[in-house]
A and B are shown apart, each in its own frame.
Chain A
Amino acid sequence: MTDEKPEETQKKRDIIKIMNTIDRRIIFLLIALAIILPLVFHLVFTVRASPIVEAIFDKVESLPPGSKVILSFDYGPSTVPENQPMAEAVARHVLHKDLKLYMMAVWATGPPQIDLVKSRVVDVDFPKKVYGKDWINLGYKAGNQGLINAILLDLKGMYTTDIHGTPIDDFEMMRDVANLTDMSLIVCIGSGYPGMREWVQFAGDPGRIPVCGGVTAVEAPLLYPYYPRQLLGLMGGLQGAAEYEATLVTKYPQFIATSEQAVKLMGPQTVAHLVIISFVIIGNIAFFAEKGRQRKGKKA
Chain B
Amino acid sequence: MKVQIPLIISFIVGIALIIAIFVPHDPFHSMNETFSIYFDLIAVFAFILGGGNLLKVHGDKIYRRAKDWKYSIVTAAGFIIMLVVGALKLGGPPGFTGDVTAEGSWFKFMYDSLFVPLQSTMFSLLAFFVASASYRAFRAKTREATLLLIAAFIILVGRTPLGHYLTGWLPPPLQFLHIPNVSNWILSFPNMAGQRAIMIGISLGIIATSLKMILGIERSYLGGESK
Contacts and interface: CB of A to CB of B under 8 A. Distances in A.
Majority secondary structure, A binding face: helix
Given A77-B115, A141-B40, A276-B134, A47 B161 contact: yes
A46 B161 CA distance: 7
Nearest to A29: B128
A298 interface: no
Contact of B192 (A225, A236, A276, A277): A225
Interface stretch (B55-63, B135-143, B209-217): B135-143
Interface of B: 30, 32-33, 36-37, 39-40, 43-44, 47, 97, 99, 101, 111-112, 115-116, 119-120, 122-123, 127-128, 130-132, 134-136, 138-141, 149, 152-153, 156-157, 159-162, 164-165, 180, 184, 187-188, 191-192, 195-196, 199
Contacts of B196: 225
A266 B161 contact: yes
B36 A149 contact: yes
B116 A77 contact: yes
Interface string A257-300: 00000000010011011111101101110011000000000000
5 contacts: A153-B32, A217-B159, A221-B187, A280-B152, A284-B149
B36 A277 contact: no
B13 to A, nearest CB: 14
Q: Range of interface residues on chain A? A: 35 or more
A224 B37 CA distance: 30
B145 to A, nearest CB: 10
Contacts of B128: 27-28, 31-32
A54 to B, nearest CB: 12
B170 to A, nearest CB: 14
